[in-house]
Chains A and B, each alone.
Chain A
Amino acid sequence: MGGKVTCTLGEVKNRADFIVFWGGNPAECHPRHFTKYSLMPKGKHVPNGRKDRTVVLVDIRETKSVKAADIFLQVRPGKDFEVLTILRALIKDQAVDPRQVAETGLTLEQLTDLVARMKRAKFGVMFFGMGLSMTRGKHMNSAALLTLAAEMNAFTKFVAMPMRGHGNVTGADVVMRWQTGYPFGINFSRGYPRYNPGEFSTVDLLVRGDADAALILGADPGATMPQPAIDHLARIPTIVLDPKVTHTSRLARVHITTAVTGISAPGTGYRMDEVPIPLRPALKSPYPTDEEVIRRIHEAVCAKPDWIHANGQYTTNQV
């Protein structure tokens, strides 16, 4: 079974009575999530707000989010996939090996109690964070959780949603998806989109040294990517568009200061549930918007003559 069974945050607010946070720490990373959507608000089918909800936190340590949870399950690092697979077996009343349960740091009683509560729920939601998706197992961990959520629909309504961070990362994925069919790791060099994470994704391109120029928009890879990728950005001509001077600006050949989207530039931001929100600027900025700078670069590239290779092949500017 594949795919993501999901919903909007509005549905979470109005319907969800069983909330699981897996490998995420919303008290620190999404401080408005509890109060606006997932825990506190009174909804149409959860009129008493927090009192109508059961909250479970799954993590490798006691984070600040533990205080907000009814149940805390402390899983051993790197054992999320095993726990999810055991849960998938338990919901179908299949036998599980107690030794495998013991390896996860949890007990069979804890997991059977969780399954019973999940089945009793009217509308369950599993939010998952980087503690699940960026540890060993990565996308397989996410796939296991999404499959568990999908399979729970044989018993009750259940959905899953990633706890996205950093402004508009969801917007980048959504727009790339409707434009090309793929969310990231896309190569346009043949004039049509090709998708292959691990080959065309940014970190891999930079670490292998494949890219000979970089345009960085709305990101600071100089403070977030692995050092070999940062070292390559410093070797090649890198252009940064950012309202602030960042670590990437310092290694770039060109930094263009732009207006802050949502504060002094209009635009559209996508919430983590992929709902687009129009952003209306409250202030004016002396700097151009990202869109304006990209449009002017685009026009300048279009004005250039076609590129002709020494072997006679040529590439028109396909932008």
Chain B
Amino acid sequence: MKFLLNPSRTAKQGAQINVGKDDEEYRRIVTTLTVSAADMALLGIAEGDWVLVRNEFGEARFRCEKGKVPDGMLFVPYGPPTCRLMGGSTDGTGMPTSKGWEVEVEPAEPEAS
């Protein structure tokens, strides 16, 4: 199923960066994907279930949480998993496209810690 993935920043993520990225809490934050209730139903998943997100550049697993986001759009804090989905081209600007990625999503097994 196709979605628009928008990596973003959160206050918790920003605070955790200063605590340390080796922490389990950091890993939890950057693998938590916010999905609308309708899209969760469409995917046939419940809160806490894992999904595999894939695009032309790579794939990564995320744990889903229900949130008030528009249907068809997914949100996740930036981190190593989003790096795997980010294309290397900068369109001549120096900055890769960091939001608005078209991705395929399917239910998946939890990521090994």
How far, in angstroms, from A225 to B95 measured CA to CA in the complex? 9
Give chain B nearest CB distance to A72 CB in angstroms. 13
Main SS class of interface, A: loop
Partner of B57, one of A31, A133, A225, A226: A226
- For residue B86, CB closer than 8 A to chain A, the reply is yes
A-B contact count (CB 8 A): 111
Contacts of A204 in B (CB 8 A): 90, 94
Partner of B93, one of A138, A207, A244: A138
A223 touches B79 (CB 8 A): yes
Contacts of B92 in A (CB 8 A): 197-198
- For residue B96, CB closer than 8 A to chain A, the reply is yes
A61 touches B11 (CB 8 A): no
Interface residue tally for chain B (C-beta within 8 Å): 37
B70 touches A60 (CB 8 A): yes
Taking beta carbons and an 8 Å cutoff, which residues of B are in contact with A? 4, 6, 8-11, 14, 20-22, 57-58, 68-70, 73, 75, 78-80, 83-84, 86-100
27 example contacts (A-B, Cβ-Cβ < 8 A) are as follows A25-B9, A28-B10, A28-B14, A29-B11, A60-B73, A78-B100, A130-B8, A133-B95, A134-B95, A135-B97, A135-B100, A138-B93, A138-B97, A198-B91, A198-B92, A203-B88, A203-B94, A223-B21, A223-B79, A224-B78, A224-B83, A225-B86, A226-B88, A227-B58, A244-B20, A245-B21, A247-B80
Interface string of A113-147 (1 = CB under 8 A from B): 00000000000000000110111101100000000
